[in-house]
């Protein structure tokens, strides 16, 4: 039964564990390896005494607040939730706490939220995508370690981590080509977004490499949202052009596209194959389950957390690299029937 004592000291923990105070301190900081038997004794002592490390005091001693600001776009988004969970897990392993704020894809709001985080004296900042330009990011990175997740920055002060969206889009289109589809439509993301532009480029380049023409009339804007997917699919169908497959720039717009097809009496995958992008948790449970390009968002979030902690502690983070994507094939795609 833990002792109800809010004033337990580090010395008491060490005494009960039978180790030195410095050993307990090293164990709690995670900066040095502590022998397994000593670590077990310290953990037992912490539980018995109900010891609560004073993270504020420890941070102040280092000149830090032990917090990292995380600027996301939509707290409610399934896409950002995965990345934020990875960031939170990664920071917790280094005994840092995350402060989450949202920019709602609005540059003015993003800058306001970033300034608010700076005002809270966070030790570092992680930005999940966003519209802030490189000049502004570079300016803020002069004052606080900054990691940008989801797109590349030209600033040498900003540590960028992102996916190769051109390669991911190419893999999605190649899957449809291998199934025999030759008229493939594309539901695009928001114009001007780096990731959206790369997915469009991957779609176009893969068609051309296969000897097929790029037809702008088979491209419709979906804006990365379900309602956009509905509108885009209706737009494509109303143009009256033949196509047997659709590649949607993200899963949310793919969900909307499948709803539009259902309402128009077009069966997936019998009449139309569809591929999404992100592989959100819901994609395994859509009807039919959605074939999608998986982004390991939680893993990338952990990597971002490790990078920002390294920068805060004056260490060079691991060299940034394009994270690999994987096509997850489910029941929303089907081979074109052989005729003749």
User: Domain holding 301: CATH number?
Assistant: 3.40.50.2300
Task: Please report the pLDDT score of residue 200 as a whole number.
Answer: 98
Quick: pLDDT tens for 23-77: 877 777 665 677 888 888 988 888 888 876 665 555 555 567 889 999 988 777 7
Query: Do residues 188 and 268 both lie within one domain?
Result: yes
| Tally of domains within the chain | 3
Q: Are 242 and 183 in contact (CB under 8 A)?
A: yes
Which band of pLDDT confidence, cut at 50, 70 and 90, is reported for residue 215?
very high
Q: Which residues are paired to 69 by β-bridges? A: 99, 125
Q: Where are the beta strands (DSSP E) in 181-256?
A: 184-188, 219-221, 245-248
Summarize the confidence of residues 7-31 as an average pLDDT.
79
Query: Do residues 247 and 98 both lie within one domain?
Result: no
Task: Please report the pLDDT score of residue 170 as a whole number.
Answer: 97
Q: Are 147 and 161 in contact (CB under 8 A)?
A: yes
Query: Do residues 171 and 136 both lie within one domain?
Result: no
Cα within 13 Å of Cα(327), Cβ side: 18
Query: Do residues 302 and 159 both lie within one domain?
Result: yes
User: In this structure, is residue 334 part of a structural domain?
Assistant: no
User: In this structure, is residue 1 part of a structural domain?
Assistant: no
Summarize the confidence of residues 112-141 as an average pLDDT.
88
Calpha distance 145→225 (Å, rounded): 32
Query: Do residues 189 and 269 both lie within one domain?
Result: yes
Query: Do residues 263 and 282 both lie within one domain?
Result: yes
Quick: pLDDT tens for 148-166: 988 888 888 999 888 899 9
Summarize the confidence of residues 81-95 as an average pLDDT.
88
Query: Do residues 170 and 258 both lie within one domain?
Result: yes
Q: Are 321 and 307 in contact (CB under 8 A)?
A: no
User: Which among 53, 63, 128, 127 has a CA at the least distance from the CA of 95?
Assistant: 53
Quick: pLDDT tens for 253-309: 999 999 999 999 999 999 999 999 999 988 999 999 999 999 888 888 999 999 999
User: In this structure, is residue 233 part of a structural domain?
Assistant: yes
User: What is the percent of the chain where pLDDT is above 70?
Assistant: 91
Residue 100: partners with Cβ closer than 8 Å, 6 or more residues away: 70, 72, 75, 84
User: What is the percent of the chain where pLDDT is above 90?
Assistant: 49
Query: Do residues 111 and 177 both lie within one domain?
Result: no
């Amino acid at each position: 039964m833990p002792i109800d004592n809010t004033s337990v000291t580090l010395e008491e923990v060490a005494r009960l564990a039978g180790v030195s105070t410095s050993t307990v301190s090293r164990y709690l900081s995670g900066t040095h390896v502590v022998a397994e038997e000593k670590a077990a004794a310290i953990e037992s002592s912490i539980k018995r005494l109900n010891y609560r490390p004073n993270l504020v005091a420890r941070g102040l001693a280092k000149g830090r607040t032990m917090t990292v600001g995380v600027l996301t776009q939509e707290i409610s988004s399934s896409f950002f939730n995965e990345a934020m969970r990875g960031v939170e897990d990664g920071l917790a392993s280094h005994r840092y706490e995350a402060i989450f704020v949202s920019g709602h894809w609005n540059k003015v709001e993003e800058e306001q939220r970033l300034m608010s985080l700076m005002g809270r004296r966070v030790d570092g900042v992680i930005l999940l995508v966003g519209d802030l330009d490189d000049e502004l990011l570079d300016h803020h990175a002069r004052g606080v370690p900054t990691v940008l997740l989801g797109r590349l920055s030209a600033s040498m002060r900003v540590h960028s981590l992102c996916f190769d969206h051109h390669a991911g889009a190419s893999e999605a289109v190649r899957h449809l080509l291998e199934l025999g589809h030759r008229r493939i439509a594309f539901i695009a993301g928001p114009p001007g977004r780096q990731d959206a532009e790369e997915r469009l480029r991957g779609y176009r380049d893969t068609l051309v490499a296969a000897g097929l023409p790029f037809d702008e009339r088979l491209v419709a804007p979906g804006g990365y949202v379900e309602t956009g997917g509905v509108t885009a699919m209706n737009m494509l169908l109303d143009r009256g052009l033949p196509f047997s497959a659709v590649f949607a720039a993200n899963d949310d717009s793919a969900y909307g596209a499948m709803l539009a097809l259902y309402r128009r009496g077009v069966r997936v995958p019998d009449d139309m194959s569809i591929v999404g992008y992100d592989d959100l948790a819901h994609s395994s449970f859509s009807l039919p389950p959605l074939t999608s390009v998986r982004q390991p968002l939680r893993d990338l979030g952990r990597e971002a957390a490790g990078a920002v902690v390294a920068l805060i502690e004056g260490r060079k983070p691991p060299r940034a690299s394009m994270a690999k994507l994987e096509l997850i094939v489910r029941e929303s795609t089907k081979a074109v029937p052989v005729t003749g």
